[in-house]
Chains A and B, each alone.
Chain A
């Protein structure tokens, strides 16, 4: 079965795709998607991640054919799909609301896509039950959707989408209707399935941990444009700008100034003191320019030493497995620090004067954004 999928599936390519909606008052226009280009390799799972209204669903709907790009092209493999209607694109979609057919049983729901392709009765039967088996829906085939739990409905929706062996599988926030625990189970199951079947997939979500867990590649979007595209590790460890750093890992930012560059490392001045960082990222800002020093909460520690940047604890929360601090530095910047396994380290209380020490390997230097990259 795996091989069948492999033969058929090819990547998806978006070239300079723009979508302009007439704005709601009918006068102006609104660019929901702005000149994005994207490569999804054969068998890859790519997540589209971004704040609400950034154009994720619109992008998905253009790939599925429910919306036409205002300009630009979409290719499945070598084929431009501009003139192919949604029902001829050989894709599947898992909807946020599941969109199960309420008047059909589970088996009918799953068989529907095979029936409309006019396959023989035996083939429909055989493939339907194979997927029912695979999705552990045995014994429920004659129930109607309103007789299923949320997780079961989700499974039926997934079964219905994969049974037709689509070239591309699209997900629009498929897990957002489930409770937190079930969401984790289902996302692992889903990732497992996608890995086994190797279907080229595009997955929309605005939950960053979900994106990290399922994706081969993450695409971060903001206001219709792609901010960064890369593996979860690349995105987390080498964010291209403050927006990405903030969105994916709630990174800290401290203002600084570039002092010098030396074989891969950089020295930056922070609050009048120079600090050396061994792998500041790929962007070479000119010497003397303003920059932001960026690091994740777990890449710093707080100590009593004189070495670090002086600050004051304003918040301390104990979670058992970890401890979260909020420190205010001299220049008023607020820094979050996460200490794992706090049992082994000294604990500080609100009001304590402390020093912030950065793990200099894990610090990146980014260009200072004009506007703050708020979400």
Chain B
């Protein structure tokens, strides 16, 4: 028997013990080390590079001139306020439209809900440039409406007004999903109570429903605000003279080769996005879950029958307009010369096939490589940060949170400045593109993984551990099968976003590794809009097929089977 009478409170350091435990679980420690290393290299190091570049001059001396320049130079200041003005306008309008949709679809008996729900998912999954193309086709110099119907010559479609229109349509569906979650979960008995107390419908909405959904409104506003700020593709092709931070940074770096200035702009772009992101986290984290109890309540009371006709009118107009936009691009892809010769044919597809076949194949290949990596890494990070204690967990948490908040343009600038010299020389390779895809899109896998893990009782994993399973085995045999859904979400999302990425990849594509989106961007620059339309149509088809294939594969791999023992 062991000796008695040890000295009291000979304290052990927890960190030391965690370390010792890790040494005894080599697979786990190696995994943690790999993930930490990859996060440091692909998230923290590029950000450090941006900070360093923006604080040095071209000769490498320490200076704050770049930052001061951003604030004092009139053109930069205009750019900064352009970005903010656009983002605030778009966030306001998108939240407004989204609120009406969310209210109509969740709290009234609106007819055709399924149809509305389906159509407003379109902007979420579609490739970039589609709406810009549609607006050009409809309202441009040869526009069907401006020129054809109204007979206006030389209508200038480029500029802030088109940007607002396109971004509102692109981003309101995201706001809609946030608001739907919250409006759908408000217990109708609260409304009933107000109605019973004699309040009118409108009064009930104003004093009960709306205040209860306020966290969702703020969250949706911040979400769309960030997306508008981050957007590169629309300002690049339809912004015209309306310069915003994302496009300006691109112009300065690829046109003027001024990395220091570009980095300073990237910092300026990061400032509002990171702030908005943190605010959004705060609101969603602290407020909304109070009303969204997660407890299934009885069927939500459908009220406001008098409000249905105006709601229906509004939703129908918006949805019809969306259909018009998408339809226009689809038809445009088949028309010989838009605005001049509307004969249908496949000429643009033929051209695009020759022009972009290689790039499309490469886009798909890289996305196929990146998607599973994103899914596994994201789920791994979610698992480690929410379930394991180890030295370096703080770094992992912070850097994984950063992946939510870094705009694509900033990541692109970070990568091209971090990996263009030894020791990590990656520019011009497929690796840098894959890494960009992975770390640009990993946040969704982390998010859905973490929220699923919250719902899985931790003792299930402890049961596996205590029965003798190593951390790796527990993860593979217990956690991963239970995380099937978020894993799939992560993979599909990562795939779609990789194939359709623009803002990050414009900095990273090379002659050897062209990508589909950069090729479409190229078509815009030489005003070949019909070819671009054919290209995006092609991409939609390819993406839909790919989603079906991934869905099938994931289901086969992770299907629960009874193994006879």
Known: A71-B11, A113-B467. A95 touches B459 (CB 8 A): yes
- Which listed residue, A78, A105, A116, touches B469 by the CB 8 Å rule? A116
| Chain A residue nearest to B24 in the complex (CB) | A85
User: Are B481 and A103 neighbours in the complex by a CB distance under 8 Å?
Assistant: yes
The answer to whether the Cβ of B59 comes within 8 Å of any Cβ in the partner chain is no
- Near B by CB (< 8 A), chain A positions 1-48 give 13, 15-16, 18, 35, 37
Q: Mark B1-38, 1 if CB is under 8 A from A, else 0.
A: 11010101111101001101100110000000000000
For the complex formed, measure the closest distance between the CB of B90 and the CB atoms of chain A, giving whole angstroms. 39
The answer to whether the Cβ of B310 comes within 8 Å of any Cβ in the partner chain is no
User: Are A142 and B562 neighbours in the complex by a CB distance under 8 Å?
Assistant: yes
List, in ascending order, chain A residues with CB within 8 A of B1's CB.
13, 75, 78
Task: Identify 17 residue pairs between A and B in the complex whose beta-carbon atoms are under 8 Å apart, listed by A's number.
Answer: A15-B2, A15-B6, A16-B6, A70-B9, A82-B17, A83-B20, A86-B466, A102-B482, A103-B560, A107-B564, A108-B563, A113-B467, A113-B468, A116-B469, A117-B468, A125-B565, A129-B565
User: Are B6 and A93 neighbours in the complex by a CB distance under 8 Å?
Assistant: no
The answer to whether the Cβ of B64 comes within 8 Å of any Cβ in the partner chain is no
User: Are A71 and B2 neighbours in the complex by a CB distance under 8 Å?
Assistant: no
List, in ascending order, chain B residues with CB within 8 A of A37's CB.
4
* 4 smallest beta-carbon distances between A and B, as pairs: A113-B467, A99-B459, A99-B463, A107-B565
The answer to whether the Cβ of A124 comes within 8 Å of any Cβ in the partner chain is yes
- Which listed residue, A93, A97, A141, A160, touches B565 by the CB 8 Å rule? A141
Q: Which residues of chain B have a CB within 8 Å of any CB of chain A?
A: 1-2, 4, 6, 8-12, 14, 17-18, 20-21, 24-25, 457, 459-460, 462-471, 473, 477-478, 481-482, 560, 562-565
User: Are A85 and B6 neighbours in the complex by a CB distance under 8 Å?
Assistant: no
CA distance A85 to B85 in the complex (A): 56
For the complex formed, measure the closest distance between the CB of A117 and the CB atoms of chain B, giving whole angstroms. 5
User: Are A105 and B562 neighbours in the complex by a CB distance under 8 Å?
Assistant: yes
User: Are A71 and B457 neighbours in the complex by a CB distance under 8 Å?
Assistant: no
The segment from A61-69, A146-154, A209-217, A245-253 that touches chain B is: A61-69
- Which listed residue, B464, B562, B564, touches A101 by the CB 8 Å rule? B464
- Interface size of A by CB at 8 A reads 54
User: Are B464 and A69 neighbours in the complex by a CB distance under 8 Å?
Assistant: no
- Which listed residue, B9, B468, B473, touches A18 by the CB 8 Å rule? B9
Known: A16-B8, A71-B12. A116 touches B473 (CB 8 A): yes
Q: Mark A91-128, 1 if CB is under 8 A from B, else 0.
A: 11101110111110101101111001100000011001
Q: Which residues of chain A have a CB within 8 Å of any CB of chain B?
A: 13, 15-16, 18, 35, 37, 64, 66, 68-73, 75, 78, 80, 82-93, 95-97, 99-103, 105, 107-108, 110-113, 116-117, 124-125, 128-129, 141-142, 160, 164
CA distance A37 to B2 in the complex (A): 12
CA distance A302 to B459 in the complex (A): 51
Known: A70-B12, A101-B460. A108 touches B562 (CB 8 A): yes
User: Are A66 and B462 neighbours in the complex by a CB distance under 8 Å?
Assistant: yes
User: Are B8 and A71 neighbours in the complex by a CB distance under 8 Å?
Assistant: yes
List, in ascending order, chain A residues with CB within 8 A of B25's CB.
85
CA distance A96 to B465 in the complex (A): 16
- Which listed residue, B4, B11, B24, touches A15 by the CB 8 Å rule? B4
User: Are A97 and B459 neighbours in the complex by a CB distance under 8 Å?
Assistant: yes
Most buried by B among A86, A128, A160: A86
- Which listed residue, B465, B466, B565, touches A111 by the CB 8 Å rule? B565
CA distance A70 to B8 in the complex (A): 11
List, in ascending order, chain A residues with CB within 8 A of B477's CB.
112, 116
Beyond known contacts A73-B2, A96-B459, A99-B457: 11 more, CB 8 A cutoff: A16-B6, A72-B6, A85-B24, A88-B468, A89-B466, A90-B468, A99-B462, A107-B565, A110-B565, A111-B565, A113-B469
User: Are A83 and B463 neighbours in the complex by a CB distance under 8 Å?
Assistant: no
User: Are B2 and A75 neighbours in the complex by a CB distance under 8 Å?
Assistant: yes
For the complex formed, measure the closest distance between the CB of B293 and the CB atoms of chain A, giving whole angstroms. 21
CA distance A256 to B331 in the complex (A): 100
List, in ascending order, chain B residues with CB within 8 A of A96's CB.
459
CA distance A125 to B1 in the complex (A): 38
CA distance A112 to B466 in the complex (A): 11
User: Are B464 and A112 neighbours in the complex by a CB distance under 8 Å?
Assistant: yes
- Which listed residue, B9, B467, B470, touches A71 by the CB 8 Å rule? B9
List, in ascending order, chain A residues with CB within 8 A of B2's CB.
13, 15, 73, 75, 78, 80
- Which listed residue, A18, A75, A78, A83, touches B24 by the CB 8 Å rule? A83
List, in ascending order, chain A residues with CB within 8 A of B11's CB.
70-71
CA distance A113 to B475 in the complex (A): 15
Known: A18-B9, A124-B565. A68 touches B14 (CB 8 A): yes
